[in-house]
Amino acid sequence: MLNEVTEATPARIYLQPVAAPSILGLYGFAGATFMIAANLAGWYGSDHTALYLAPFAFMFGGVAQFLAGMWAFKARDGLASAMHGMWGAFWIAFGILTYMFRGTGLPAGAFPELGYWFIVLCAITAVGAWAALAENVSLFLVLLFLALGSGIEAIARLTGAVGALQIAAGYAFIIASMLAFYTASALMLAETYGRPVLGLGKVTKGRQAPVITLGAGEPGVIRGQNLNLAPGQTA
């Protein structure tokens, strides 16, 4: 009886399309990082700047990017899930830390222990840059300059040489934010137009399958984000 019911019941496949989470993640990262990095580079700022920027960094760089990381997990993009999840968590922590110091008269970053935050961020982001070499050059450059800025900032915090070194870190972060803005824009335009508009420097050599593939043994499941569309190809 069970076999008869099984054979008579048609299989149902539910498709759950997922927009490229890295569009939101990279825009969130770019916005928060640019505003904070410009302050580090000495472009603007006062004693109250951190308090003014903390809510924006918390929501856009933190919550929005962290959510993008979780959606990237659903899209089975391990690299995007790790990078957006980690940096989103960092910006959330940065916002919390800033308000913990509110009213104390001390800036939120005035302690060497923050250098260890950046050691961890530098190490994981560097590995992410290595992994991005298998996808596209644009994302690789984002993570490369992000890791570079994190490393310089770690040295500045741990040695107390927050002058020229911190300015250098700020410029590295600014470059990373601009590259992230470009990459996010390229992804969004490719998705809306159905074809590449801005180049990402896609990497295809040595890949056995396109980035967007059907899940093994799981009909209707798509793996990956719309990162490497060829001309005329749609996801």
Is there a domain that residue 233 lies in? no
Is there a domain that residue 13 lies in? no
Nearest of 53, 106, 64, 109 to residue 87 by alpha carbon: 64
Is there a domain that residue 2 lies in? no
**3-state secondary structure (DSSP) of residue 46:** coil
User: Given this model, what pLDDT does residue 88 score?
Assistant: 92
Q: Model confidence over 215-230: pLDDT tens digits?
A: 555 444 455 565 544 4
Q: Which long-range contacts (CB under 8 A, 24 or more apart) does 190-198 make?
A: 190/226, 190/229, 191/19, 191/20, 191/23, 191/226, 191/235, 194/234, 195/229, 195/231, 195/232, 195/233, 195/234, 196/229, 196/230, 196/231
- Give the end-to-end CA distance of the chain in Å, rounded to a whole number: 42
Sign for the pseudo-dihedral over CA of 112, 114, 120, 122: negative
pLDDT-above-70 percentage for the chain: 72
Is there a domain that residue 230 lies in? no
Is there a domain that residue 231 lies in? no
pTM value > 0.85: no
Residue 43 has pLDDT above 70, yes or no: yes
Query: Higher-confidence residue: 162 or 69?
Result: 69
Q: Model confidence over 133-149: pLDDT tens digits?
A: 888 888 999 999 999 99
Number of structural domains in the chain: 1
Is there a domain that residue 229 lies in? no
- C-alpha to C-alpha distance for 229 and 114, rounded to whole angstroms: 40
Q: Model confidence over 165-181: pLDDT tens digits?
A: 888 988 999 999 999 99
Strand 222-223 to 213-214 pairing: antiparallel
- C-alpha to C-alpha distance for 199 and 182, rounded to whole angstroms: 10
User: Given this model, what pLDDT does residue 210 score?
Assistant: 45
- Among 50-54, 87-91, 153-157, where is mean pLDDT lowest? 50-54
Domain limits at 99? 22-223
Averaged pLDDT score across all residues of the chain: 77
Q: What share of the chain is helix, strand, coil (3-state, %, to 5)?
A: 65, 5, 35
- C-alpha to C-alpha distance for 108 and 119, rounded to whole angstroms: 18
Strand partners, 202: 136
**3-state secondary structure (DSSP) of residue 118:** helix
* Local confidence band at 57 (pLDDT 50, 70, 90 cut-offs): confident
- Contact (CB, 8 A) for 207 and 134: yes
Mean pLDDT of 59-84: 85
* Local confidence band at 231 (pLDDT 50, 70, 90 cut-offs): very low
Is there a domain that residue 124 lies in? yes
The one-letter amino acid code at 204 reads T
88: its two tokens:
């989103």
50: its two tokens:
């951190």
DSSP state for residue 221 in the 8-state scheme: -
Is there a domain that residue 147 lies in? yes
